[in-house]
Amino acid sequence: MAKVKITETVLRDGHQSLIATRMTTEEMLPILETMDNVGYNALEVWGGATFDACLRFLNEDPWERLRTIRKHIKNTNLQMLLRGQNLLGYKHYADDVVEEFVNKAIGNGIDNIRIFDALNDTRNLQKAIESTKKFGGHAQGTISYTISPVHTNETFIKLGKEIEQMGADSLCIKDMAGLLSPYNTYDLVKALKKEIKIPIELHTHATSGLGSMTYLKAAEAGVDIIDTAISPFAEGTSQPPTEPMVAAFKNTEYDTGLDMELLNKVSEHFKPIREKYIKNGLLDPKLMGVDINTLIYQVPGGMLSNLVSQLKQSNAMDKFEEVLKEVPRVREDLGYPPLVTPSSQIVGTQAVLNVITGERYKMIPNELKQVVKGMYGKTTLPIKEEIIKKILGDEEVITCRPADLIEPELEKVKKETAEYMEQEEDVLTKAMFPQPAVEFFKYRNAQRYKIDATLLNEEDMVYPV
């Protein structure tokens, strides 16, 4: 047994889970050098929804955020979350885009890349893992943890071994809905430690109230690293808090060695920021409690709020219980995908449509068709023939790696971005988020010329030569 290392998530998942990823770079800056001296295993600072939120809501260049953080963090590894072949968007991208994105992420300061796939289809991890290693980064392969009649610890052990064989430098068990129970975690980690040699990191959320206990049992089973968030941005739908975990392990064989005084300074910095977001309504106190629905329906907290929002828009809140019961049925029909972006949104939307229309699969969104067609990858269990027939008719299901069907697209996007381009990274921004990217480029250009961007339309825009 060795000491447990800690990856701090406040700069990414902590604020993504609680305030919809709205923390600004300016709010992070004053505390970065202190955080660099704490002794963390890594700081999770990028990826997930940070890229999208920077462009869409904060008028910030996500690449500039990364470079700024790197300038202030000199001793600690910087980590990001990547959705495999989906990168940071919501669809698969061509291999040339994946490779160039990883190249630029590492070139701008990322050390560790955590790579996951919503269906646990390892073919969708392959290119990102290869690219991370090619450009000198640490490639962390990921198990998206879920519960279903077909997901057993044996399923995840097999997956862990496959990820190690693909060349991953470490393995993450990503429990996005807070479903892991303490004693099952002990069994899973213990079994994985016997089967694989690479380090194991555990990521969970406090949604179900089990998070800290889960980490304690994981440490006893030999986990190498756990993900926590500094207390002002911990608990609820975020991660378990950093300081109590450090205190719990102090003077034991798992002692993290982290400095509590420095952690207290980090905490003091984030307290007023938390208060600001409570006052402006972005931090909803409801997100801070224990949500036992997570364990009953295996539905992540974010997905629950999404279902409520869809039902309110349809004046059908009285159907909430019915929809919750329909979610596992749709999930079974689709071969039990883990419920994480984007599969959680696809399953949830279909469950709402099935209930509201009063007929299952009467209305079918395109994304669901794509799942059934195999365009997102391979599901845990094959999808039933009658479901395929109902949703696709006579269309063929693909069996190859979905990205094999995507032509190289980097050169095409370069041409589309030429008029706005100020840095090579702009091409990747445009490839993933075409519309928000263009709007941000116009804003950035207007700021440069001290012109109010809101007064401009595309024809009036002045571009730097």
- Asked whether residue 452 is domain-assigned, the answer is yes
Residues 134 and 199 placed together within one structural domain of the fold: yes
Examine the pLDDT at 435 and tell me if it is beyond 70: yes
- How far is Cα 115 from Cα 128, in angstroms, rounded to an integer? 7
Examine the pLDDT at 374 and tell me if it is beyond 50: yes
For 69, other C-beta atoms within 10 Å of its C-beta total 23
Overall residue count recorded for the chain in this entry: 465
Residues 349 and 423 placed together within one structural domain of the fold: no
- Asked whether residue 198 is domain-assigned, the answer is yes
Residues 371 and 423 placed together within one structural domain of the fold: no
Calculated CA dihedral for residues 404, 386, 345, 365, nearest 10 degrees:
80
What pLDDT score was predicted for residue 452? 52
Parent domain of 379:
299-399
Residues 241 and 339 placed together within one structural domain of the fold: no
pLDDT digits (tens, 9 = 90+) for 191-237: 999 999 999 999 999 999 999 999 999 999 999 999 999 999 999 98
Pairing state between β 112-115 and 200-204: unpaired
Residues 156 and 45 placed together within one structural domain of the fold: yes
Side chain identity at residue 459, one-letter code: E
The angle, 0 to 180 degrees and rounded to 10, between the axes of the packed helices 242-249 and 260-279 is: 160
Domain CATH for 363: 1.10.472.90
Domain stop point among 354, 369, 399: 399
Q: Provide the CA 363 distance to its chain's centre, in angstroms.
A: 29
Local confidence band at 309 (pLDDT 50, 70, 90 cut-offs):
confident
For 228, other C-beta atoms within 10 Å of its C-beta total 30
Closest CA to 417 of 403, 437, 397, 398: 437
- Asked whether residue 154 is domain-assigned, the answer is yes
- Asked whether residue 293 is domain-assigned, the answer is no
Query: Looking at the 3D structure of the chain, how many domains does it have?
Result: 3
Residues 63 and 185 placed together within one structural domain of the fold: yes
Residues 353 and 415 placed together within one structural domain of the fold: no
- Asked whether residue 26 is domain-assigned, the answer is yes
Domain stop point among 250, 279, 308: 279
What pLDDT score was predicted for residue 450? 62
Could you give the maximum distance between any two Cα atoms of the chain, in Å?
A: 66
- Asked whether residue 285 is domain-assigned, the answer is no
pLDDT digits (tens, 9 = 90+) for 330-343: 999 999 999 887 88
Residues 392 and 420 placed together within one structural domain of the fold: no
Local confidence band at 451 (pLDDT 50, 70, 90 cut-offs):
low
Residues 243 and 327 placed together within one structural domain of the fold: no
Domain CATH for 261: 3.20.20.70
Cα distances (angstroms) measured from residue 86 to each of 120, 368, 370, 424:
13, 16, 14, 20
- Asked whether residue 465 is domain-assigned, the answer is no
Calculated CA dihedral for residues 48, 54, 58, 60, nearest 10 degrees:
150
Examine the pLDDT at 459 and tell me if it is beyond 70: no
Residues 201 and 331 placed together within one structural domain of the fold: no
* 3-class DSSP assignment, residue 289: coil
Domain stop point among 347, 378, 399: 399
Considering just the CA atoms, what is the radius of gyration of the chain in Å? 22
- Asked whether residue 432 is domain-assigned, the answer is yes
Q: Which residues contact 213 (CB under 8 A, 6 or more apart)?
A: 182
**Mean pLDDT of all residues in 3-27:** 95
Closest CA to 173 of 150, 155, 156: 156
Residues 247 and 101 placed together within one structural domain of the fold: yes
Residues 50 and 163 placed together within one structural domain of the fold: yes
pTM metric for this prediction = 0.92
